Amino acid sequence: MFTLLLLFFPLLAALLLLFVKGEQVKKIALGAAVIEFLISIIAVVQFQHTADTQFEVNRPWIYTLGINFHVGIDGISLLLVLLTTFLVPIIILTSFKHNYKNPSLFYSLILAMQMALVGVFVSLDGFLFYIFWELALIPIYFICLLWGGENSAKITFKFFVYTLVGSLLMLWGFIYLYLNTEGIHSFDIGALYKAGRSLDAAHQGCIFLAVFMAFAIKMPIFPFHTWQPDTYVTAPTQGTMLLSGIMLKMGTYGLIRWLLPVTPLGTAQWGNLVIILSVIGIVYASCIAITQKDFKRLIAYSSIAHVGLIAAGIIAANVQGIQGGMIQMLSHGVNVVGLFFIVDILQTHTGKRDLASLGGIRNVNPQFAVLFLIILLGSVALPLTNGFIGEFLLLNGLYQYSAWATAFAGLSVILGAVYMLRSYQAIMLGETNSITVGFTTLSGNEKVVLLIICAAVIVFGIYPKPLLDIAEPAVVKLVSSLTP
Amino acid sequence: MKALILLSSLGIITLLAEIFSFKKLLYPFVLLGLLATFIVNLFDWNLPSKIFFGMMQYDHFAVAFTSVILAIAFLWFIMSDSFFKEGTNITDHFGIVLFALAGTVIMVSYTNMTMLFLGIEILSISMYILAGSNKDDLNSNESAFKYLIMGAFATGFLLFGIALIYGSTGSFNLAEINLFITSHKGDVPMLFYAGVLLMLVGLAFKVSAAPFHFWAPDVYQGAPTVVTAFMATIVKTAAFAAFLRLFYTSFVTVSDIWVNVVWVMAALTLLTGNITAVMQTSTKRMLAYSSVAHAGYMLLALVAGNIYSSSAVLYYTAAYSIASIGTFCILSIVTNVKGSDVIDSFNGLGKSNPFLAFVMTVVVLSLAGIPPTAGFFAKYYIFTAALQSGYTNLVLIAIVASLIGVYYYFRIIIAMYFKEGRNEVISIQPNHKIVLIIIAIATIVLGLTPDFIIRLL
């Protein structure tokens, strides 16, 4: 029943928020998000460390077509649910300084989005998964459209259509699988796995490509990334955080749950191509990030590089690769939200976010300098930060697949250090100028958020075992099911 | 059967209202009458035998489609009260609409081609008059005239087809025609095939499938908005039911001669409808093209021709009609205030009237086929039906078409929320408010629980 609670509590809260007026909205939204986080913590405590799906609910939904309301949580789902419930309150907290127009709708959409995201991570029925997958798109579309910056109508529309193309191809793939299920057709995950594996290699390859498109666009992987930088830059900060922190993980999670086990032969056939694309994306996005002048855009490109590595590790389909992917999804989620928050802080305090006009903030605000540095080091994967564990496991997993790919993917660590440290230098070090001189203090909310994120960076950098333990049985089971 | 009798009597009574002067009471009376018809119709669910000397059969298919049509008609009546309260010749409006509905009931329940013809004509002639019901408006007159000329042409094709089929098989009865084909495998006269194709043309005209759709945008645009709503929903539903019934009882055994034609038609309809809609500036004309495009999706079910087909069309027409009534209702409200139906009239609606903007968003998302609305499940179900029969390419075309569809539907959403408008106060009449609330709820509820409709057929 935890699953239903996790799923419908945010929806309920979102609907209630629509009727709340005034300043209270922020606090109620935060309260609801915190309660949701506590529910997920209880779920973590109750969770048995086995590979089984737990808290399962399976009810007939569209009976005539074999579609069930089937949700459940295993280790892989649990970590992503946890990421969602952890980040949403933080994201809401980051918005406290902003006075958005029509706040009740804004927070309501964030919570509705949370419901859809949790739904994606717990669905065990192909049709249900698709519904949640699309449902997540609607709130974020409106968040970006209504509260976005210049040109947001055009850019968010491109984003919407781009992801919809992928989704429809995925739907096509799922229907194809569905029609190949034995007996009375069913969308249940087990039936779809079976149907997928019963196909010959050529058909599995087609399904792989169709479904992969959806995930590749969502992540995004080179060359399907062109929607991403503009969307991240124009979206309001909270929208960007939702997109990069959580929504991106829908794609990588999809790879693990809905692609690898469905079409093992397809993965074998096209895995090489995907890894090559991912590696190209890593190098390409890193190089572009180095030349960026706008810090927000720089982080957007760094996100492409990071997710490329995650995708490559997952497609390598071994325990290290997938475990690394899991951990890196969490750390990337936390770190990227932190970085986007730093952009937001810079913007609110100095009005600028381009590297050229900032500088010397460390001299006036050393506290901020330290917090920023910790998050930044997590992002460049320094040992003892959370980023390190993930990248290490990913590269390890990828190495078992291809040494060459690993060599190029490893560049991401070096290039990442180049662009991140360069931007730190530009923003924090050097001479304090007239723009930055006034930025001397952080507000209470800002401190709280940055401290929470820094704590997560360090704690899970030093002691990642609890997280690894949650996912491990499920990952081992998954990988062993892939090799016949 | 009961629905047909009730509707016809209601129609006659409304005509008497002019003489006995109870015009004021007519509107609630007809609404109650429709509600009663809807309920009574449900009691025909297991009516087994053929009626009217085997000319009609009130099977599950007929009852299900009649129910959808009556439900939509009910919503339509509430939405278009001004059509029945203002201006002259009000009682005629009632009578014509009710007879049109009687025509649709015949179209969904015939088993004899003469009844098909009668049904289509009753419906079409009523529609010719309704399209021109705004007598002082040049566009309305043009619309009626165009519809009449083109419609008469199509009817000619249809009648010619019926005649040829009768000539070659010796029967008007669908079951007997089917029997004739199966017993004369290999030596069915050539004229029969010609007849099938001619009927196909006639019916394709009625459902506005490309390349026989050219009348639709002009007629839809010129006619009063409420009449357009009627044409886009009820007429289309009935025409598709008739189409499906004919081709799936009589011509299914010779499907290899028409299925490719319908395949091409579906692809053409999807692409021309959607692509032309993108270029429109008038919302009404855009919706007209979108209505053409939706006919294309429904043709997919016809091409598929399997156990899913009729329930897919049933669900699709219900989902599409509900959403269309919503869009036309909002369009008429907005057009009344702003004096124009260009897409820019929707600018700033999100601020000036959040309720209208919200409902519009829901119905537009449904038309675009985005979950969790009914429109999504309708498309999904049609795609499944087509894939089941192996029409992968056609489904891919339909997917591309629905992406194009998203583009023009979202223009309305972007206009409402993103562009600045003049912020006039838009007041909504209570009846419109009720209809819109029902539509918004129905669109989402149907989308989440489609089972109770699709298990009917």
B interface test, pick of A11, A21, A61, A131 with most B CB neighbours within 10 Å: A131
Mean pLDDT of A6-34: 90
User: What is the rounded CA–CA span in Å between residue B190 and residue B165?
Assistant: 10
Q: pLDDT at residue A98 above 90? A: no
- The residues, ordered by sequence, that sit 6+ positions from B196 with a Cβ below 8 Å of its Cβ are B161, B165, B251, B254, B257, B258
How far, in Å, CA of A469 to CA of A109, rounded? 33
Q: Is B110 helix (H, G, I), strand (E, B) or coil?
A: strand
Torsion of CA A238, A144, A234, A250, to 10 degrees: 70
Q: Which residue has the tokens 């029945």?
A: B84
Nearest-by-Cβ selection for A145 from B384, B418, B449 = B418
**Do A145 and B365 make contact, defined as CB atoms within 8 angstroms?**
no
Secondary structure tally for chain B: helices H, strands E: 20, 2
* Residues of B contacting chain A (CB within 8 angstroms): 350, 365, 370-372, 376, 380-381, 383-384, 387-388, 395-396, 399, 402-403, 406-407, 410, 413-414, 417-419, 449-451, 454-455
Quote the tokens at residue A138.
Answer: 């609607």
- Mean pLDDT for A171-198 is 90
| C-alpha distance from A298 to closest chain B C-alpha (Å) | 27
| CA B266 – CA B270 distance, rounded (Å) | 6
Three-state SS sequence of chain A:
CHHHHHHHHHHHHHHHHCCCCCCHHHHHHHHHHHHHHHHHHHHHHHCCCCCCCEEEEEEEEEHHHCEEEEEEECHHHHHHHHHHHHHHHHHHHHCCCCCCCCHHHHHHHHHHHHHHHHHHHHECEHHHHHHHHHHCHHHHHHHHHHHCCCCHHHHHHHHHHHHHHHHHHHHHHHHHHHHCCCCCCCCEHHHHHHHHHHCCHHHHHHHHHHHHHHHHHHCCCCCCCCCHHHHHHHCCHHHHHHHHHHHHHHHHHHHHHHHCCCCHHHHHHHHHHHHHHHHHHHHHHHHHHHHCCEHHHHHHHHHHHHHHHHHHHHHCCCHHHHHHHHHHHHHHHHHHHHHHHHHHHHHHHHCCCECCCCCCHHHHCHHHHHHHHHHHHHHCCCCCCHHHHHHHHHHHHHHHHCHHHHHHHHHHHHHHHHHHHHHHHHHHCCCCCCCCCCCCCCCHHHHHHHHHHHHHHHHHHHCCHHHHHHHHHHHHHHHHHHCC
- pLDDT 10s digits, A198-212: 999 999 999 999 999
Contacts of B368 in chain A (CB under 8 A): none
Q: Is the pLDDT of residue A99 over 90?
A: no
Q: Is residue A399 in some structural domain?
A: yes
Instruction: Report the distance separating Cα B78 and Cα B81, nearest Å.
Output: 6
* Residues in contact with B414: Cβ distance below 8 Å, sequence separation at least 6, in sequence order: A145, A153, A157
The rounded distance, in Å, linking the Cα atoms of B155 and B119 is: 12
- Which of A415-429, A435-449, B282-296 shows the lowest per-residue confidence on average (mean pLDDT)? A435-449
φ, ψ (nearest 5 deg) of residue A306: -65, -45
Distance CA B337, CA B345 (A): 9
Q: pLDDT means per 10 residues in chain B (457 residues)?
A: 90 85 83 93 83 87 94 94 81 91 94 94 94 89 94 93 93 90 86 93 92 92 93 95 90 87 95 94 94 95 90 95 95 90 88 91 94 92 92 92 92 88 83 94 93 87
Helix (H, G, I), strand (E, B) or coil at B340: coil
Answer yes or no: is A446 within a domain. yes
- Mode of pairing for the β-strands spanning B50-51 and B56-57: antiparallel
Q: What's the rounded Cα separation, in Å, for the pair B395 and B403?
A: 12
pLDDT band at A177 (very low <50, low <70, confident <90, very high): very high
pLDDT reported for residue A484: 63
Q: Which of B320, B308, B344 is nearest to B457 (CA)?
A: B308
Which residues from chain A sit within 8 angstroms of residue B454, using beta carbons?
A: 62, 64-65
Residue numbers in A near B387 (CB within 8 A):
172, 175-176, 179
pLDDT > 90: percent of chain A: 61
Name the residue with higher pLDDT: A100 or A396. Answer: A396
Residues A64, B407: C-beta atoms closer than 8 Å? no
CA distance A323 to B299: 48
> Are A134 and B370 inside 8 Å of each other by CB?
yes
Q: How many independent structural domains does chain A possess?
A: 1
pLDDT digits (tens, 9 = 90+) for A354-373: 888 888 888 888 899 999 99
Instruction: Pick the residue of B308, B451, B454, B457 with the most A CBs within 10 A to test the interface with A by mutation.
Output: B451
- Predicted confidence at residue A103, as pLDDT, reads 87
pLDDT score of B1 = 77
Number of CB atoms found within 10 A of residue A15's CB: 12
**CA dihedral for A158, A161, A164, A169, sign (positive or negative):** negative
Which pLDDT does position A100 carry in this prediction? 84
A145 vs B contacts (CB less than 8 Å): 413-414, 417-418
Sorted by sequence, the CB contacts under 8 Å of residue A331 that are 6+ apart come out as A378, A385, A386, A387, A389, A390, A457, A460
Asked if pLDDT for residue A344 goes beyond 80, the answer is: yes
Query: What is the overall mean pLDDT for chain A?
Result: 90
Min Cα distance A468 → chain B (Å) is 35
Of B371, B381, B403, Cβ closest to residue A134: B371
CA dihedral B318, B321, B323, B326 (to 10 degrees): -130
Q: Do B414 and A168 touch (CB under 8 A)?
A: no
Residue A358 belongs to some domain of the structure: yes
Give CA–CA dist A296/A347, Å, rounded. Answer: 10
B3, B66 Cβ separation under 8 angstroms:
yes
pLDDT band of residue A482 (cuts 50, 70, 90) is confident
Residue of A146, A150, A175 to mutate when probing chain B, most B C-beta within 10 A: A175
Q: A145 to chain B: nearest residue by CA?
A: B418
Distance between CA atoms of residues B39 and B32, nearest Å:
11
pLDDT of residue B329: 94
pLDDT for the residue B385: 92
Q: Do B454 and A62 touch (CB under 8 A)?
A: yes
How far is it, in rounded angstroms, from Cα B202 to Cα B153?
A: 8
Domain assignment present for A4: no
Structural domain for A469, as ranges: 265-484
Angle between helices B354-368 and B392-418 (to 10 degrees): 170
Structure tokens at A297: 């855009």
Residue B136 is predicted with a pLDDT of 87
Residue A32 has pLDDT above 80, yes or no: yes
User: Using an 8 Å Cβ cutoff, are B264 and B349 in contact?
Assistant: no
Return the percentage of chain B with pLDDT > 70, whole number.
Answer: 100
CB-based burial, A429-465: b 16+ in 10 Å, e otherwise: eeebeebbeebeebeeebeebbebbbebbbebbeebe
DSSP code at position B309: H
Helix (H, G, I), strand (E, B) or coil at B54: coil
Instruction: Bin A47: left if φ > 0, else alpha if -120 < ψ < 50, else beta.
Output: beta
Q: Which of B349, B380, B403, B416 to mutate to test the interface with A (most CBs of A within 10 A)?
A: B380
Q: Tell me, what's the pLDDT at B425? A: 82
Are A175 and B387 in contact (CB < 8 Å)? yes
CA distance A353 to chain B (A): 25
Can you read off the two tokens belonging to residue A274? 């995907």
